[in-house]
C-alpha cells in the first residue's frame, strides 16, 4: 500500500504540533507492538507453566494489528523492533498488515538491516535513534558444502539425483556448486531482489525502483544520512517520538504495550481454592467446539515420517506425516469443518511422508471440502508436493517454492570406522540385501535399481502436478521440474501457484469456496499444553511413535567422530554459519535415514545485509 503522501502530511503536522488533541477530549490509546525473537507459524501449545501465554504466531500478530486498527479507542500504532527472526514471506505479511492500517503507524528502531527496513517500510513514520544506522545493502547468500568435512572423517557420500537442477545432494558430494546449481541460485536471488526493490519502491519511493537500487548500492547509512535521502522520517530517541505522539493525540494518551496479547488467568487470591479450581479446569480440557470452522493445518519444518512427540521441553520438531494425516482426517470427518487451509513453511524432506500428507489432502477434498494451500517463507520440493493438489494455491511474492525433483544417496562410513579401529564383517543372503549398507558404494547394478526407484518417485511427483495443474501450467512440466527453484512471483507466472497473497487472503478464499461467512479458525491438531500431556500419560489418548531400531543409525550419537569435527566448528563459527551448518547436518541425517528425499538445492541461507 503506497502511503508516501500521508507520511509527508503526518511529518508536517507533527513538526507544527497542529494535531494536538483539544482540551477536555477523551484520552485515547496507542497500541504498541514490539517484534523480537522468532515469529512462529504453528501454535506451539503450552508445555510449561505459562498458563496459555505461549508466543504469538504470524497469524496472531496480524490479527492483533488488525484489531488495533479496528479499535475505536486506539488512535495510532507504534512498532518497535528488537531482533525478530522473520523470513521473507513473513516480512511481507507483517509489512502488508501495517500498510493496510487506516490509523497512523509509527516505527522506532535503533538500527535497521535490509529485512527490518522492508518490514517497517509501509509505516507512516519511521524514526531511528541518533547515531543509529540503516544497513540497506540487499541480500548475501552462502552455499554450504560438507564434502571436505566428510573426507576428514573418512565418510564417502554416494549421491544420485533426478534433474540437472536438483542439486540438494551437492552439499555432501562437492566442495563447490555445479554450473546448474549456481545458475539456479543466481536466478532465484534475482527474483528475490526484484521483489524487495518493488516492495520498497511502492512503500517509500513513489514506485521509483531505480532510486531504490541506487540507495541499496550506496549503503550503509547513518541515521542522519538516511533521513537526508528520504529513507526514514525522523532521527529521534524513542522518548522524543513518544512525546511527539502525545503532542498529537493528547498528554493523557496511554501506550498499551503488547497490545492484544494473551493475558494470564485472573486469580482471586482471597479464595484459597482458586488455584486448584483453575488447575482442575485446565486438566479437564476445553470442550470441543461445534461452531462452523475453517481448519488450519500447519506443515512446518522438514517433512518426516511418524508422529510428533512434544515433550515438557518443547515440540518434537518438523512436520510429521502421521500427525498431519490425522489432523486432515479429522477435518474431513468433522461436519463443523467446512474447509481447510494448509499452511506450508517447509523445505521438504521424506518422499514417503510427503505422499502421505498429499493423499490426506485429497481425502479432505473427496469429503466435499475445499483445501487451500498458503505458502510461507519456503514451500519447496516436498513442501510443494503436499501443496500441489489444493483447490487453490497462494504464495507470497518472495516465497521460495517448486524444486520439483528427487535426491537419493547413502553415506559410506567404512573409512570412519577404520579410523577408530572398529571393523565390521558382512554376511549376506540375496543379491540386493546390502544395497543400503553403509559399508560400500553402489555397484552399477545397484545404482541402476536406485535410479529406477527414484524415477518412479519423480514420475509420481510430476504426475500429481500435471493432474491438478495441467491446464494452468504455462510450460511443459519437464521445463519447470528438474529441481528448478522459483520465487512465488515466478511460480505464479508459470502456473505453479494461483495467486500472490497472504494467509488471510487464503482463508478468505477458503470461506468463499465453502460459501460460509460466520466461522472460526480452528488449528488442527489442537496444540497440547502441559495438562493435555498429563492426561495422555494417564491413558487419555493413543499416540503413534517411530522407534529407531537400527544400530548406529544416528550419525550424531555421542562419541561419533563427526561430532569431534562439528562441535569445535560450532564454537568458533559466526551464528549464521553455525545455523546453516546445523541445517546441513540435519539434512545429512535425513538422507542417511530416508535414502530418498524431496529437498531444494540449499537451505537458502540468505542474509539481510
Domains of the chain: 4-137+219-257 (3.90.226.10), 293-548+576-593 (3.90.226.10)
Tell me how many degrees the CA angle 42-46-50 measures, rounded to the nearest 5: 130
Q: For residues 32 and 241, is the Cβ–Cβ distance under 8 A?
A: no
Q: How confident is the model at residue 19 (pLDDT cuts 50, 70, 90)?
A: very low
Which has the minimum average pLDDT: 130-139, 277-286, 363-372, 399-408? 277-286
Q: Are the C-beta atoms of 177 and 189 separated by less than 8 Å?
A: no
Note whether 94 and 86 are within 8 A (CB).
Answer: yes
Confidence at 603, pLDDT banded by 50, 70, 90: very low
The grid coordinates listed for 383 are 513442501
- Strand ranges in 136-214 using DSSP code E only, listed in sequence order: 139-141, 156-162
Omega into 574 within 30° of 0, i.e. cis? no
Q: What is the reported pTM?
A: 0.69
pLDDT band for position 313 (50/70/90)? very low
pLDDT for the residue 220: 86
Average pLDDT, the chain: 79
Asked if residue 13 has pLDDT above 50, the reply is no
487 neighbors 191 (Cβ within 8 angstroms): yes
Q: Which range is least confidently modeled, 128-137, 141-150, 180-189?
A: 141-150
User: What is the pLDDT confidence band of residue 555, given thresholds at 50, 70 and 90?
Assistant: low
What pLDDT was estimated at residue 314?
47
| Burial (Cβ within 10 Å: 0-12, 13-18, ≥19) of residue 371 | buried
| pLDDT (mean) for 395-419 | 84
Higher pLDDT, 529 or 207: 207
| pLDDT for residue 272 is more than 70 | no
Q: What whole-number percentage of the chain has pLDDT above 90?
A: 37
Q: How confident is the model at residue 266 (pLDDT cuts 50, 70, 90)?
A: low
Query: What distance in Å separates the CA atoms of residue 80 and residue 89, rounded to the nearest whole number?
Result: 20
pLDDT reading at 289 higher than 80: no
| CA pair distance 10, 3, nearest whole angstrom | 11
Higher-confidence residue: 533 or 407?
407
Tell me what the mean pLDDT of segment 147-165 comes to: 78
Tell me what the mean pLDDT of segment 242-271 comes to.
Answer: 78
171: CB partners within 8 A, 6+ apart: 143, 144, 145, 146, 584, 587, 588, 602
Q: How far apart are CA 236 and CA 239, in angstroms?
A: 8
User: Cis before residue 525, ω within 30 degrees of 0?
Assistant: yes
Which residues contact residue 451 at a Cβ distance below 8 angstroms, ignoring those fewer than 6 apart?
A: 160, 162
Q: What percent of the chain has pLDDT over 70?
A: 73
User: Going by C-beta distance under 8 Å and a sequence separation of 6 or more, which residues neighbour residue 154?
Assistant: 413, 414, 415, 416, 418, 419
Amino acid at each position: 500500500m503506497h502511503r508516501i503522501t500521508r507520511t509527508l502530511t503526518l511529518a508536517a503536522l507533527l513538526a507544527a504540533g497542529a494535531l494536538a488533541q483539544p482540551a477536555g477530549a477523551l484520552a485515547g490509546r496507542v497500541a504498541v507492538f514490539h517484534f523480537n525473537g522468532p515469529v512462529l507459524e504453528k501454535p506451539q501449545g503450552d508445555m510449561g507453566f505459562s498458563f496459555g501465554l505461549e508466543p504469538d504466531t504470524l497469524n496472531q500478530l496480524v490479527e492483533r494489528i488488525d484489531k488495533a486498527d479496528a479499535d475505536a479507542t486506539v488512535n495510532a500504532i507504534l512498532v518497535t523492533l528488537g531482533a525478530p527472526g522473520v523470513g521473507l514471506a513473513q516480512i511481507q505479511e507483517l509489512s502488508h498488515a501495517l500498510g493496510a492500517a487506516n490509523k497512523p503507524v509509527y516505527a522506532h528502531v535503533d538500527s535497521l538491516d535490509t529485512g527490518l527496513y522492508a518490514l517497517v517500510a509501509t509505516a507512516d513514520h519511521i524514526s531511528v535513534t541518533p547515531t543509529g544506522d540503516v544497513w540497506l545493502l540487499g541480500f548475501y547468500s552462502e552455499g554450504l558444502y560438507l564434502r571436505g568435512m566428510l573426507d576428514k572423517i573418512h565418510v564417502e557420500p554416494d549421491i544420485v539425483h533426478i534433474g540437472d537442477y536438483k542439486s540438494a545432494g551437492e552439499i555432501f558430494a562437492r566442495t563447490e556448486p555445479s554450473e546448474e546449481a549456481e545458475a539456479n541460485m543466481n536466478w532465484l536471488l534475482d527474483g528475490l531482489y526484484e521483489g524487495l526493490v518493488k516492495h520498497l519502491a511502492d512503500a517509500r519511493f513513489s514506485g521509483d525502483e531505480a532510486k531504490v537500487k541506487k540507495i541499496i548500492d550506496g549503503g550503509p547509512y547513518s541515521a542522519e544520512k538516511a533521513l537526508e535521502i528520504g529513507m526514514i522520517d525522523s532521527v529521534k530517541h524513542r522518548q522524543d517520538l513518544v512525546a511527539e505522539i502525545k503532542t498529537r493525540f493528547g498528554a493523557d494518551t496511554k501506550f498499551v504495550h503488547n497490545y492484544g496479547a494473551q493475558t494470564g488467568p485472573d486469580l482471586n487470591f482471597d479464595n484459597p481454592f482458586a488455584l486448584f479450581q483453575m488447575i482442575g479446569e485446565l486438566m479437564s480440557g476445553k470442550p470441543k467446539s461445534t461452531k462452523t470452522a475453517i481448519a488450519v493445518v500447519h506443515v512446518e519444518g522438514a517433512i518426516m515420517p511418524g508422529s510428533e512427540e512434544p515433550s515438557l521441553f518443547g515440540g518434537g520438531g518438523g512436520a510429521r506425516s502421521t500427525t498431519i494425516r490425522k489432523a486432515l482426517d479429522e477435518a474431513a470427518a468433522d461436519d463443523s469443518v467446512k474447509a481447510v487451509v494448509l499452511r506450508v513453511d517447509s523445505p521438504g524432506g521424506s518422499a514417503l511422508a510427503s505422499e502421505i500428507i498429499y493423499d490426506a489432502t485429497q481425502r479432505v477434498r473427496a469429503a466435499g471440502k475445499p483445501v487451500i494451500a498458503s505458502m510461507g517463507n519456503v514451500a519447496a520440493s516436498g513442501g510443494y508436493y503436499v501443496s500441489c493438489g489444493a483447490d487453490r494455491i497462494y504464495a507470497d511474492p518472495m516465497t521460495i517454492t517448486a524444486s520439483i525433483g528427487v535426491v537419493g544417496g547413502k553415506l559410506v562410513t567404512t573409512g570412519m570406522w577404520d579410523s577408530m579401529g572398529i571393523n565390521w564383517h558382512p554376511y549376506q543372503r540375496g543379491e540386493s540385501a546390502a544395497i543400503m549398507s553403509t559399508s560400500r558404494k553402489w555397484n552399477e547394478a545397484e545404482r541402476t535399481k536406485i535410479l529406477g526407484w527414484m524415477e518412479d518417485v519423480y514420475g509420481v511427483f510430476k504426475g500429481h502436478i500435471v493432474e491438478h495443474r495441467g491446464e494452468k501450467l504455462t510450460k511443459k512440466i519437464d521445463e519447470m521440474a528438474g529441481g528448478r527453484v522459483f520465487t512465488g512471483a515466478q511460480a505464479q507466472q508459470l502456473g505453479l501457484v494461483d495467486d500472490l497473497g497472504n494467509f488471510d487472503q487464503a482463508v478468505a478464499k477458503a470461506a468463499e469456496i465453502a460459501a460460509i461467512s460466520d466461522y472460526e479458525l480452528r488449528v488442527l491438531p489442537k496444540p497440547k499444553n502441559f495438562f493435555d500431556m498429563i492426561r495422555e500419560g494417564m491413558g487419555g489418548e493413543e499416540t503413534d511413535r517411530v522407534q529407531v531400531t537400527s544400530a548406529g543409525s544416528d550419525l550424531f550419537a555421542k562419541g561419533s567422530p563427526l561430532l569431534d569435527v562439528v562441535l569445535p566448528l560450532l564454537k568458533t563459527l559466526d551464528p549464521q554459519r553455525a545455523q546453516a551448518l546445523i541445517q546441513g547436518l540435519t539434512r545429512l541425517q535425513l538422507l542417511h535415514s530416508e535414502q530418498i528425499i524431496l529437498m531444494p538445492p540449499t537451505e537458502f541461507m540468505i542474509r539481510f545485509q
